[in-house]
Chains A and B, each alone.
Chain A
C-alpha cells in the first residue's frame, strides 16, 4: 500500500498536480530520465533527499561509496561502460569539494554526469555556515553547466535541463547544487517534461553539405590518407558508421587512448595507437600522410607531440561536434562540424571504394619493426622479471578480448592500452585527459553497474591503487564483482621512467611501498592472490577470472621496466624512440 502511494507523484499531470517535496521531485526526475543507479554519500545538507530516497529504494539503486571522489569516478565508469548519464550525490562543503577531481576528469574526457550536491539553507548562503562552500563558483571551470536551486519549484525544469545538457552535443558533467530548504519545500508538482531544446545551446550543428563534398574530394584524391579517431566515435554511437567509412575508402585508422575499442583491435585497418606511447607506424606516418582525417578527437599534446612539426605536409579534415575544437590546436583544411553519426555516412556515400594496399602495407612494415624491437620482448620475454605486457597478453588470451578493461594512470595504463584486445565498443575505460591516478578502482565499480553482464577488469598500478583503495569497502558492501589486477613494480613507474631518461636517474620520491594487498583485501572479505613467477601467471589470472565475486590479483612486475616506444616531450611524433 505504502509503495503504491509513493508512486503517485509520477502520475502527476498539469491537470492533476500533486504536492511533493523538492527532494521527491529530484527522484521523480531520475525515474523519468531512466536513471537506475546513484553513487553517493550522505551528509547534513543532502539529508532530505536521502530521506526521500528511503522510499524509492525499490526503483533507484544507491551505491554507498567510501569517499565522494570514489562516487564520482564510479559515476564516470558507469557512464563510460553504459553510454548513459552517471548520477552522483554528495553533501555540501567537503562532500562537494571532493567531487572536484572527478568533475575535471569528466569534463576533459567528455563524460555525461549529473551531480547533485546538497547546500545549506538559502538564508545561510554566504554566511560561512557549517559545511557551506561556494561549490558553484568552485566548479564553474570544470562543469559543462552548473546551477544552484533555492526554490523547489525550479527542480523539475532544472533537472530536465541538466540531463539534456550532460548527454547531448559534446557530453560533460553538470552539477546541480540544491539548498536544503528547496529539498524540504513542498510544491505543486505537475509532472516531468524532458528538455529537448534550450535556445542558447546548440548541441548539434547543422551539417554543411559543402564541407562533406570538399572532404570527400580530398579523400578521393589522396594517395596516403590516414584516419585518426577519438572518443567522439563512441560518444556519437557511430562505431558502425565509422567502420563502414574506413572500409569503403580503404583507410588505415589509428586511435587516441579514448578512441580505443571504437573499432575492434583485430580489424585489419586498425593500425594502432597514436601519441607519446603509441605505435611506431601511426606516429611516424602522421608526418607522411597526404590527407589526415581526424574523427572526434581533439589533438591533445600527448597525441601531437611538437605541434609545429605535426603533420605539416598533410591536408586536414577535422570532424567534430564541438566547434571550439576545430582549429584549436591544428589548423584544418576542411572543418566538418557535426555529429559523426550524421557526417560519417554522408562522407561514406561520396567516397570512392578503394584499397590503399601499398599504403596500408607501409603501416604493417612499421609494426613489424616495432614487433621485433619492442613488442616481442614485452609480450613474450624468455627470462627475467614478469613484464606488464605479458600480463596483459595473458589476459587477452583468457578473456578473448571480451572484457571491459579499466585502467588507472601511468606505465600500466600505457601498456594495457597498447596491448589489450577489444572486440566491443565502450570496453576501454581510462582517465585520458586529466590523468587521474586513483581513477580505476572506483571507475571499475561504476563500470560493472553500467554493464553488469560483462567482465570488468581493473588494471592498476601500486601507486594509483593506494590513492582510492578505500573503495574496497564499497566493493565489499555492494558485492561488486570487479577483478582488480595490480601490476606492482614497487615504483611510481612513469615518473621513475622520466627521471631515468630525462633527469639522470635521480629517483626523487618515486620509491613507493605497498601494503600486503592480499591481506588487505582479506580484511574486506575479498579473495586475493599474488604472483611473482612466470609459470604461475596464467593460472593465477584464470583463477581471478573464474571467481564469481570480486578478486584481487597482484602481479610483481619488472621494477625498472620502461614503456616504449616513446615520443619524448617537445619532440615531433616522427622522432619516436623505440628504445
Chain B
C-alpha cells in the first residue's frame, strides 16, 4: 500500500547535492510532496526532509540510492507515527475585512494563530501544525478576501533518534568501529513515549 513517508537525509553541505538527490525521485517519476533543507544539530551537516507517497519497498530502495551518493551520510525513512512534524503557514488578509467580519481574537485562540504583521491595509497571520490544521484556518479565511497564502515544507524529528553527533563520529573514524545499521529508527514508535 502506498502511504506517506518522511525521508530524512544527513548530508555534507555541497553545491549541487540538492539536484543529485532530487533526480533520484524524478528519474523514477516520483513526485516530491514536500522538501526542506536546513542545517542539522551537527556542525556542517545538512538535513533534508522529503515527503513522498510510495510503497515501503520503493522508499527503501530510494533511500539506498540516496545513501549511495558520495556526499550523503545517512538516509532514514519513517511513517507519520514515527516522527513529530510541523509545517508553518502564513496568511495575508485585508485588515478591514477580518477586523469587521471576523473576530480576530477568536482566530488567534482557536487556531493558535499569531499575528506577525498588522498594517492598515493587511494583516499577516501565522500558524504551525499539521496539514489539516493549517488547512482549517485557510478555509476560514478564504471567504474574507485572503490575499496570499504560503505553507512551508515539512520539518520532522524522528522520535527514536538520538541526533547525529554520535553517528558523525563513526563516519569520521577512518576505520569505522561498527557497521552502520540501515534505517535503524524504522518501526520504533512503540518504544517512544508519545502523547
A binds B: yes
Taking CB atoms, residues of chain A closer than 8 Å to B171 are 199-200, 202
Check A141 against B27 for contact (C-beta < 8 Å).
Answer: yes
> Which A198-227 residues sit within 8 Å CB-CB of chain B?
198-202, 205-206, 208
Taking CB atoms, residues of chain B closer than 8 Å to A140 are 16, 19-20, 23
Check B72 against A200 for contact (C-beta < 8 Å).
Answer: yes
> Which B1-54 residues sit within 8 Å CB-CB of chain A?
11-12, 15-16, 19-20, 23, 27
Encoded as 1 (CB less than 8 Å from any B CB) or 0, chain A from 190 to 202 comes to 0000001111111
Q: In whole angstroms, how far apart are the Cα atoms of A165 and B69 in the complex? A: 11
Residues of chain A at interface, number, CB under 8 A = 26
**Is B174 an interface residue when CB atoms closer than 8 A count as contact?**
yes
**Is B151 an interface residue when CB atoms closer than 8 A count as contact?**
no
Q: In whole angstroms, how far apart are the Cα atoms of A315 and B55 in the complex? A: 24
Q: In whole angstroms, how far apart are the Cα atoms of A218 and B72 in the complex? A: 34
**Is A137 an interface residue when CB atoms closer than 8 A count as contact?**
yes
Check B23 against A141 for contact (C-beta < 8 Å).
Answer: yes
Taking CB atoms, residues of chain B closer than 8 Å to A326 are 64
The contact of A198 among B16, B67, B70, B178, by CB within 8 Å, is B70
Chain B nearest CB from A88 CB (Å) reads 19
The contact of A324 among B20, B67, B168, by CB within 8 Å, is B67
Check A200 against B70 for contact (C-beta < 8 Å).
Answer: yes
**Is B187 an interface residue when CB atoms closer than 8 A count as contact?**
no
Taking CB atoms, residues of chain A closer than 8 Å to B176 are 202, 206
A325 — nearest CB in chain B belongs to which residue?
B64
Chain B nearest CB from A155 CB (Å) reads 17
Encoded as 1 (CB less than 8 Å from any B CB) or 0, chain A from 15 to 48 comes to 0000000000000000000000000000000000
Check B65 against A208 for contact (C-beta < 8 Å).
Answer: no
- The verdict on A205 contacting B179 (CB below 8 Å), with A200-B171, A324-B64 known, is yes
Taking CB atoms, residues of chain A closer than 8 Å to B15 are 148
**Is A136 an interface residue when CB atoms closer than 8 A count as contact?**
yes
**Is A145 an interface residue when CB atoms closer than 8 A count as contact?**
yes
Q: In whole angstroms, how far apart are the Cα atoms of A451 and B15 in the complex? A: 38
Chain A nearest CB from B56 CB (Å) reads 12
**Is B106 an interface residue when CB atoms closer than 8 A count as contact?**
no
Check B179 against A208 for contact (C-beta < 8 Å).
Answer: yes
Chain A nearest CB from B45 CB (Å) reads 9
> Which B167-192 residues sit within 8 Å CB-CB of chain A?
168, 171-172, 174, 176, 178-180, 182
Q: In whole angstroms, how far apart are the Cα atoms of A197 and B15 in the complex? A: 20
Of B16, B27, B67, B182, which is in contact with the most chain A CB atoms at under 10 Å from its CB?
Answer: B16
**Is A554 an interface residue when CB atoms closer than 8 A count as contact?**
no
Check A200 against B73 for contact (C-beta < 8 Å).
Answer: yes
Q: In whole angstroms, how far apart are the Cα atoms of A1 and B179 in the complex? A: 54
**Is B131 an interface residue when CB atoms closer than 8 A count as contact?**
no
Taking CB atoms, residues of chain B closer than 8 Å to A196 are 174
Taking CB atoms, residues of chain B closer than 8 Å to A208 are 179
**Is B68 an interface residue when CB atoms closer than 8 A count as contact?**
yes
Taking CB atoms, residues of chain B closer than 8 Å to A268 are none
Check A197 against B174 for contact (C-beta < 8 Å).
Answer: yes
A204 — nearest CB in chain B belongs to which residue?
B176
Check A137 against B179 for contact (C-beta < 8 Å).
Answer: no
B182 — nearest CB in chain A belongs to which residue?
A323
**Is A328 an interface residue when CB atoms closer than 8 A count as contact?**
yes
B180 — nearest CB in chain A belongs to which residue?
A202
New A-B pairs, 9, CB < 8 Å, besides A206-B178, A323-B64, A323-B182: A141-B27, A144-B70, A322-B68, A324-B68, A326-B64, A327-B60, A327-B61, A328-B61, A328-B64
A-B pairs, 10 with minimum CB distance:
A324-B64, A199-B171, A145-B70, A200-B73, A197-B174, A324-B68, A206-B179, A201-B70, A199-B172, A200-B71
Residues of A within 8 A of B (CB): 136-137, 140-141, 144-148, 165, 196-202, 205-206, 208, 322-324, 326-328
- 11 A-B pairs with C-beta separation under 8 A: A137-B19, A140-B19, A199-B73, A200-B72, A202-B171, A206-B178, A323-B67, A323-B182, A324-B67, A327-B61, A328-B61
Residues of B within 8 A of A (CB): 11-12, 15-16, 19-20, 23, 27, 60-61, 64-65, 67-68, 70-73, 168, 171-172, 174, 176, 178-180, 182
